[in-house]
Amino acid sequence: MTSTTRNVLIGIVVVLVIALLGYFDWQERQTSAPALSTSTTTSATSTGTSINVSGSGATTTSTGYTVTPIYSSSGSPTPPNYKTQLTFPAGTNAAVEAQYQSQFASIQTTLATSPYDYPSWIQLGIVREETGDYTGAAADWKYVTEIYPQGPTAFADLGNLYATYLNENSQAITDYKEAIKLDPTHEETFYQNLAQVYINEGDTADAKATLEEGISAQVIGYQNLQEMLNSMQ
C-alpha cells in the first residue's frame, strides 16, 4: 500500500468518525428535548432572549423573543372576543380616536387570519388599556399568559395594570414575580415596578429584597436598582 493510499484511507476513517459523533450528538439532543404537552401545539417580551419551548408555530417578536404557544391537554384556552369595539372616555379628541381605531382595525385583520399572533394580542391589550378598558386589557393579556406561558411581557403588563389601574396589588405582585421568574436578567423595570408596589403597600423590607435580588442577578440596568435601593437607606 502506497503512502498516498494510506493517507486517503485514514482521511475516510476520520470523516466517518466525525459523522458518527455528530449523529450521536443529534440523537442525544432529540432525546433530551422537552416533551410536547399535546400532539398539536402551536412570548416579551422585550429583551432579545430566545425562549426554548417545544412545539410548532413559533413567533419571534420585534424585540427578539422567540415564543411558542403551549396548549393544555384539554385544548387551547377560549380567547377573548378581539372584535369587541373600543370605548373612549368622554371628550376624547376625534383624531386620537381615529388613531386608535386604525390600530384596532389592523389588529383585527391580523387576528382574523392568525388567531394566536403574539404581538397582536399584546398590542390589543395596550390599546384597550390606553382607551380605558382595563377589564378588556386584563382579559387579553391573561389569554397571552395561557397560550404563551414562558413569555414574561404579558405578566409584566398585567402587573402594571393591576397596580396602576385596578388597585389589586396582591395580583400585581403575583404577576411581577412571574415575569421576573421567566426573565430575571434582562428587565430591571420588572424589579423596580415590583419594589414600587411593595413601597405603596408600606412593605419596605420586601421592596429592598426585590431590588437586592435584581442587583444580585446582575440584571441589565441593575445600576438603576442600586440607585433606588440607596435612596431607601
Q: Rounded to whole angstroms, how far apart are CA atoms 55 and 2?
A: 53
Does residue 179 lie within any of the structural domains? no
**34-58 pLDDT, tens digit each:** 222 222 222 333 333 333 333 334 5
Does residue 31 lie within any of the structural domains? no
The mean pLDDT of the chain is: 79
Give this prediction's pTM.
Answer: 0.72
Q: What are phi and psi of 151, to 5 degrees?
A: -100, 120
Count the domains in the chain: 1
Beta bridge partners of 50: 66
Does residue 102 lie within any of the structural domains? yes
Q: How far is CA 165 from CA 2, 136, 188, 203, in A?
A: 84, 12, 21, 20
Does residue 27 lie within any of the structural domains? no
Does residue 108 lie within any of the structural domains? yes
Does residue 16 lie within any of the structural domains? no
Planar angle of CA 60, 66, 72, nearest 5 degrees: 115
Does residue 137 lie within any of the structural domains? yes
Does residue 69 lie within any of the structural domains? yes
Chain position carrying cell 412545539: 55
Question: 60: domain range?
Answer: 43-149
Top-confidence residue, 103 or 74: 103
What pLDDT is stored for residue 41 in this prediction? 26
E-strand ranges in the chain read 59-60, 66-67
